[in-house]
Amino acid sequence: MANPEPSSTKQERLSRQLLRVLMVEDSPDDAELIELELTNGGYQIEALRVVSAADMATALNSADWDVIIADYSVPGFDAVPSLKLLRESGRDIPFIIVTGSISDEMAVASMRAGAHDYVLKDNLLRLVPAVEREIKESAARHQKHEAEAALHESQSRLNGIVQSAMDSIISVDEEQRIVLFNEAAERLFGCPSSEALGSSLDRFIPPKFRDVHRDHIRTFGMSGMTTRSMYSPGVLTALRTSGEEFPIEATISQIEAAGRKYFTVILRDISERKRAEAENSRLQAQLAQSQKLEAIGQLAGGVAHDFNTLLNIILGYSDLLLADLPEGDPRRERVKQIQTSGETGALLTKQLLAFSRRRALVPQVIDLSTTVGDLEPMLRRLLREDIELEVHRAEQACPVKVDPGQIQQLVLNLAANARDAMPRGGNLTIEVRTVELDESYVHQHPSMTPGKYEMLAVSDTGVGMDAEIAAHIFEPFFTTKSTGQGTGLGLSTVYGIAKQSGGDIWVYSEPGVGSCFKVHLPRSSEPHAERSTQQQPKKLTGSETILLVEDSKSLRELTRELLAHGGYSVLEAKDGVEALEVSKQYEGTIHLLMTDIIMPKMRGTEVAIQFAKQRPNIAVIFLSGYTEEAISHIPGARRIAILEKPYTADSLLRTARQTLDHMQIAA
């Protein structure tokens, strides 16, 4: 079949009066008369005459004809078969019968068969008007078909877009009856479109919100706006056919068609977004809590450092007083009370330093399961008789690199906290095992990283606590106990130890149910440390020369007196700069450098490095209430030790003697 001529080209050709005519006519003379009549009407004629069905079928496929003019009766081939061929071809071409005579019955039959008009040969004056009219009507029909085809294609594309959209699209009329319900809406609401179409939009709105939704759409319809976004978590809630309510956000638009108003709503389920927002918020709270505790830890560490200096003076002079007072002197008991109070204060500062993660550690690889098991007798003495203790240890080793003393303190503090939470008795369960923290867990606990950890869980059946209290329990001095029943440092100490050991701690609790504290410590791949076999010195006195560097005048004077009391010769400096100058001017041997770490002008570590250049192979003792960084090897220094503040006369002299003895052995 010949390709149909584009309508624009056909209109241009017809405007030039070029007419293509297919004639079904057995008489050449009659065909000539028809051509003459059309020519007289102003047309340029391109004509083809056929006399059989085969010729007509070929002709229909060979060109795009403007009009078919057929004699009603052609021998062997008349108008009715030719009309049938035209219909079968699928072409819309004006068909006009031109015949010598035709009865009314024949004319009606022809028109029913598809003929558009008929003209008698003795009245050919009607031919040109009939052709012009039918060509115009054919063009109108063709334009209509093209418009309908374009509309159908547009509707198909629109329907494809609507049906393939990820968002749910629902259209309703002014009575809010559903007229469009796409596939996404079917999935979202769990309802087929065949069931939704024609029903009220109310079926997808919770009853308590239906009036609000209907009023909102009515108001929007009267506003004159064409599009509006809707988002209100408290109001925009939809209802699935299952009865489940869920939050949505939506955009509504309105149009008018055929005098009626329609509303189209594009909506989406924001349940996941709401969950993510809520999750991003228990995470923002966790971050804020962590930052708050970090800030408090910095403050606590600074306070403890300064307080240690005061406690050191109290404890040191107590030692000196006790050494001067004979046994039986009633003043000894008073001094011992001062000493006891100082030691209690020292324990508090140690807890603060553990919380702030600034206490000097001596980490080593231990089996957490064995360590907790060894504490069981002490734990039973700590608990009351109305508390039942269960300890579940892992069958395999649980290696962690920590300070053993701090881990013991962590377990004891958690057990004491659980005991106080069970005033009427209950069960305390301690469990140690290896766990694998995956991405899901880490997402909920952002301070952790995926991997293997050793978990220590301490659970009780006590009074429990609500979320508000749980948010503050790791803060120093926060306590729910009565005045005088606690310092509020137990759990903050636990928090500091867990953090300083490279792990973390989380609490799960409900009022009236109990609490579970979970400590996760990184699993170590290093071999277990061997116990130290270093022997204690037989004597605590000496005669060597010690250079003491301490920025606190009171503590420097006390330490000098304690060392002098032990027989040592003491040189003093208030800071690193002065210490280096003293070293330059002193011609004798300086056996030991004893220096504070945190000092103005120069840190103790830097003093030791510079000092070792002047006096190679010197021994060094660092005095510190806390260390913010690991103390690495000092080049040239033969022996390095750390003496933790506040120190007693005994610990000071013991550390000095031990360090000097070790240096002599190494020499």
* Domain boundaries along the sequence of the chain: 7-145, 165-277, 285-355, 364-522, 545-666
Ranges in the chain, pLDDT < 70: 1-16, 224-235, 281-283, 285-287, 289-305, 344, 347-348, 350-362, 476-490, 529-538, 625-639, 665-667
First to last CA, the chain: 113
* CATH topology identical between 364-522 and 545-666: no
| CATH no. of 165-277 | 3.30.450.20
What are the residues whose beta carbons fall under 8 Å from the beta carbon of 343, sequence distance 6 or more? Answer: 315
Among the CATH numbers 3.30.565.10, 3.40.50.920, 3.40.190.10, 3.30.70.980, which is that of 364-522?
3.30.565.10
Cβ atoms of 453 and 470 within 8 Å: the answer is no
CA–CA distance, 213 with 381 (Å, rounded to integer): 66
Q: Which CATH superfamily is domain 7-145 in?
A: Response regulator (3.40.50.2300)
Q: What pLDDT score was predicted for residue 477?
A: 62
Nearest CA among 379, 371, 304, 413 for reference residue 521: 371
CA–CA distance, 576 with 529 (Å, rounded to integer): 35
Exposure b/e, 59-83, CB count within 10 A at least 16 = b: bbeeebbbbbbbbbbbeebbbbbbb
CA–CA distance, 592 with 577 (Å, rounded to integer): 17
Kindly indicate whether the domain formed by 545-666 is annotated with CATH number 3.40.50.9100.
no
CA–CA distance, 421 with 514 (Å, rounded to integer): 8
How many CB atoms within 10 Å of residue 175? 8
pLDDT tens column, 581-618: 999 999 999 999 999 988 888 888 899 888 888 888 78
Q: pTM of the predicted model, to two decimals?
A: 0.44
CA–CA distance, 261 with 254 (Å, rounded to integer): 7
Q: What pLDDT score was predicted for residue 107?
A: 77
Q: What pLDDT score was predicted for residue 529?
A: 59
pLDDT tens column, 338-391: 887 777 677 667 666 655 555 555 688 999 999 898 888 888 888 888 999 999
Let me know if 104 is exposed, middle or buried by CB neighbors in 10 A (0-12, 13-18, 19+).
Answer: exposed
Cβ atoms of 350 and 312 within 8 Å: the answer is no
Cβ atoms of 58 and 13 within 8 Å: the answer is no
What are the residues whose beta carbons fall under 8 Å from the beta carbon of 365, sequence distance 6 or more? Answer: 399, 400, 401, 524, 526, 527, 528, 529
CA angle 238, 244, 247 (to 5 degrees): 35
Q: What pLDDT score was predicted for residue 535?
A: 56
Q: Are strands 260-269 and 387-392 parallel, antiparallel or unpaired?
A: unpaired
